A and B are shown apart, each in its own frame.
Chain A
Amino acid sequence: MENNLFLTEMIRSELSEIVGPDFVSVEESDKFIYSTDWAWMPQMWLDRGMQLRPPDYIVHPGSAEEISEILEVANKYRIPVIPWGGGSGTQGGALPIFGGILIDMKRMDKIITIDEKSLTVTAQAGIIIAQLEWALNEKGFMLPHYAASSNCATLGGALAPRGTGTLSTKYGKAEDMVLSMQIVLPTGEIIRTPPVPKHAAGPDWFRLFLGAEGNFGIITEATMQLDYLPEARLMRAVLFDDLDKALEVGRLIMTHRLNPLVIRLYDRESTSSQVKKVLGYEYDGAYMVLGFDGDPEIAALQEKKALVYCQQLGGRDLGRDPGEAWWEHRYDFYYPPKSLKLPWMYGTTETVTTFDKIANLYWAEKKAVEEGFADWNVKFIAHFSHWFHWGVMVYSRFIIEEPPQDAQEALRLHNRVWNAAMQAVIANGGMINEHHGVGLKLSRYMRKQYGEAWPLLLKIKKTIDPNGIMNPGKTGFGF
């Protein structure tokens, strides 16, 4: 469309007639800002003075009906469509790599209803999660999706990549909290998933849209499960000499009917770098934060029982202060100046697997990265943050403090590190990602991840999105 100003204007008119001229932008400044999300790749690209492909149009619809009409236009002219929530994704999932119509969802930010009996909230997908949480807090409720990006991310943006938050160990990921959704399909139909997620009325197609990252349609509304604000939150920290023993403690806690709010276990390198930088504590070992919430007596008892496991496996109780400090500053790890930042190269090669594999997976990934890129003085740090009854995710990260200055060279090196990490992950029984999503960055690993099942996903994509307009190039799907 770049060389066809005539058609560009004709389509702009069509879009303006759908949403109103005030809600269609082709301003250079808007196109530029919307050309990047929070992934390292595009941020580095811009930092090195390189241009990214911008969208052709930025559209702000006010309803599912308007989105349906926009998709009709997109199908008619075979224009890519990129849904945009907060633009806070780190995987390049919202990058308009082929141009097209970028749909910014944030006009659709209303809370539709709060059901105080069923403890649910129904809200439009463009609401910023932090604002939703404030509104819920005023009624004594919480949506326990406490992601570091909640100040920026939208409800739809939490669901589309299957995001998670600090409290997931107890309350689940965003996908565990959603009861139902309204979705605009790529062909324009507006559908609603069943009103409840647990039933026996046929296949669980509702979950097809979670993790599709816009490829199967646009989430416009969601009904989410709430909780009452907890009466108490108890945080403390424990230090381990041996990471493997600390992992075993986590497994014991998760499999013995204790219900921790959070277990955050930093490996030695993370403890000596990140924990020190953000919290100011200088510990040598694996630093574990333990949290329990709810009824004060129950939380205290669970905490007490968890500490027994810690002590049995060599953990040293550091008391409340370090745990509470972590809770107070839990997002500081991800914001300047404490976060990893350019001109460094870095990536979060996080993964998840079952307890029987996690230790091997961690050491294998660490080895693959550290040995493969020793020439670049790569650092590998990790923490274990989202725990399940069957396993745990490892939030592994690599850092290269002096990457190539040339943007293309830097990108090549970045991708090589990712490749080494993901090969190790897949070879050791892990998933290529646990909660950031696939986006553009990990798109090339989807075939290997799913093996013989991948053609099934391609068939679904082809059926749902016959013209391939929805977020092409992401999550393994093309046109």
Chain B
Amino acid sequence: MCRHVCPVGHVTRRETLTPHGWGLTIASVQRGLLVWNQDTLSVLYSCADCGTCRAHCVTDQALPDAIAATRAEVAAQNLAPAAVYEVHKALQEWSNPYEKQVPEIVKGQAEIALFVGDDAKYLWPAALESALKLLETVGVKPVLIGVGRSNGYLASSLGFPETAKMLVQTTLNELKASGARRMLVLTPGDHYVFDRFLNERLEGEWPQGVELQEVVSLLDEKFTADLLKFKSSDDKRPYAYIDPTHSLRIPARYDAPRRLLAGVMSTAGRELFWRKERAHPCGNGALQFTNPHISDHLTYARLADAQEAGAQIIVTEDPGCLSHLNRHAGRFGLHIQGLYELLADHLL
């Protein structure tokens, strides 16, 4: 049982919107006890597909994959909610759900590539600018790939695995064309997509001999080796780091952003209750399109958690998270700060 960690179950308190509820709903449709209708489809598309349940399952049951597979069946039968097809159409035409722009094609070659994605391009571009400035400081000038392109997770989450494969493969083709032997990513969500999701859900393979690394991880290595230095921030307000959506799929990454922040901030960081291995999503992902009401409540819950911890500033690096948190931060009297921007602003 994973009720205790499911973020949607946590904010809605509905038994139906828990791993148990989703599993039973799907099984009951298969048994003929329920049918797909507006009510049950709303249930199906209320899962955040965040993987928190699986991360805490004592026996590693892949329920999120089962939900995604069921959504694929439903979508193929033209039963999914209208928003699902609208977003899918945008992903097919523009490779992103936000703007009617096709991704920029990679130019040039380099040893290191940086996957930009759609959230960084359209929702919080300051993260990318600052990340590039930080990378330049440590002698890394990556070629940018996937600029404005979804990493593929959204398509899979909505029930379109073929579109997800197309998006991922296009990025991999760009990566190959760049000649890079290492691909950096801005978020743990991107890391998860190319590291595990690609294989587990899309049956794809990451190119051999190419290393995958988060920018945060690289910066932390340099910082720890004293190759990256920061000046202390004058801001004495209490802050809290929010582990971005999908963080808990990568347990080894919890400490790196915290170390970097400790190198800048002059006060000790507060910790949210829902942190690290139990970090809840920020409201980004497919839910923002299929069930914006629940998506908003996930965001409120994160903000309330930070407020409860006594933080006045919330720091994170994921552009999608930053965008969602920023929309509602005012209600909680909180300031949202991008991690990359903070670090870049305090370079020595």
Question: A and B bound?
Answer: yes
Chain B residue contacts of A88, Cβ below 8 A:
1
Inter-subunit contact B59/A86 (CB<8 Å): no
- Is B236 positioned at the interface, with any CB of A under 8 Å from its CB? no
Within 8 A of B (CB), among A87-107: 87-88, 104, 106-107
Q: A33-B16, A49-B31, A336-B59 are in contact. Are A28 and B1 (CB under 8 A)?
A: no
Instruction: Tell me, in angstroms, the Cα distance from A152 to B1 when the chains sit together.
Output: 6
The answer on a CB contact under 8 Å between A34 and B15 is yes
Pick from A33, A151, A332: contact of B2, CB below 8 A.
A151
Shortest beta-carbon distance from B269 to chain A in Å: 15
Binds B, one of A8-16, A130-138, A361-369: A130-138
Q: Is B224 an interface residue (CB 8 A)?
A: no
Out of A25, A33, A134, A336, name the residue touching B25 (CB < 8 Å): A33
Residues of B contacting A129 in the complex (Cβ-Cβ under 8 angstroms): 4
Tell me if B61 and A336 are in contact (CB < 8 A).
yes
Determine which of A47, A104, A332 lies in contact with B58 in the assembled complex, contact meaning CB atoms within 8 Å.
A332
**Please, which residues of chain A bring their CB within 8 A of the CB of B31?**
46-47, 49
Mask, B48-77, CB within 8 Å of A = 1, is: 000000001111010000000000000000
Q: In the complex the two chains form, is B14's CB within 8 Å of A25's CB?
A: yes
Which of chain B's residues have a CB closer than 8 A to the CB of A106? 13
Cβ–Cβ contact B61 & A134, under 8 A: no
Contact A335 B1 (CB under 8 A): yes
B202 to chain A, nearest CB (A): 24
Does A162 interact with chain B (Cβ within 8 Å)? Answer: no
Bound CA–CA A151/B4 (angstroms): 5
Q: How many A-B residue pairs have CB under 8 A?
A: 88
- A107–B39 Cα gap in the complex (Å)? 22
| Cβ-defined partner of A135 (8 Å) among B5, B16, B273 | B273
Do residues B14 and A30 form an inter-chain contact, with CB atoms below 8 A? yes
B270 CB to closest chain A CB, in angstroms?
12
Chain B contacts for A331, CB-based, 8 A: 58
Looking at B1, B39, B278, the one whose CB has the most chain A CB atoms below 10 A away is: B1
Contacts of A338 in B (CB 8 A): 59
- Does A377 sit at the interface, judged by CB under 8 A? no
Interface string of B1-44 (1 = CB under 8 A from A): 11111000000011110001100110110011110010110110
B9's nearest neighbour on chain A, judged by CB, is A106
**A122 at the B interface (CB under 8 A):** no
A130 near B16: Cβ-Cβ < 8 Å: no
Q: Which of A30, A51, A332, A336 contacts B16 (CB 8 A)?
A: A30
Question: Is the Cβ of B1 less than 8 Å from the Cβ of A151?
Answer: yes
How many residues belonging to A are interface residues under a CB distance threshold of 8 Å?
Answer: 39
Within 8 A of A (CB), among B256-295: 273, 278
A332, B2: Cα distance in complex, Å? 13
Contact A29 B34 (CB under 8 A): yes
Residue A264 interfacial (CB < 8 Å) = no
Query: Is there an interface contact between B15 and A134, defined as CB atoms closer than 8 Å?
Result: no
Are B3 and A337 closer than 8 Å at their CB atoms?
A: no
Shortest beta-carbon distance from B34 to chain A in Å: 6
Task: Decide: A128 and B13 in contact? CB cutoff 8 A.
Answer: no
Partner of B4, one of A33, A34, A152: A152
A104 in contact with B15 given A51-B33, A149-B1 (CB within 8 Å): yes
Nearest opposing residue in chain A for B30, CB measure: A49
Bound-state CA distance A134–B277 (Å) is 12
A60 CB–B CB distance under 8 Å: yes
* Nearest CB of A to B169, in Å: 33
B residues 270-328 in Cβ contact with A at 8 Å: 273, 278
Cβ of A36 within 8 Å of any chain B Cβ, yes or no, is yes
In the complex, whether A206 has a CB less than 8 A from a CB of chain B is no
Known: A32-B33, A32-B34. 5 other contacts (CB 8 A): A30-B15, A51-B33, A152-B1, A152-B3, A331-B58
List residues of B whose CB falls within 8 A of some A CB: 1-5, 13-16, 20-21, 24-25, 27-28, 31-34, 37, 39-40, 42-43, 56-59, 61, 273, 278
4 A-B pairs with the lowest CB-CB distances in the bound complex, closest first: A152-B1, A130-B4, A33-B16, A151-B4
* 30 pairs, CB–CB < 8 Å, chain A vs chain B: A27-B16, A27-B39, A28-B34, A28-B40, A29-B16, A29-B34, A29-B39, A29-B43, A30-B14, A32-B16, A32-B24, A32-B25, A34-B16, A46-B28, A46-B31, A49-B31, A51-B33, A58-B15, A60-B13, A86-B3, A104-B13, A107-B13, A128-B4, A134-B273, A135-B273, A150-B4, A152-B20, A335-B57, A335-B58, A336-B61
A residues near B, CB below 8 A?
25, 27-30, 32-34, 36, 46-47, 49, 51, 58, 60, 84, 86-88, 104, 106-107, 128-131, 134-135, 149-152, 329, 331-332, 335-338
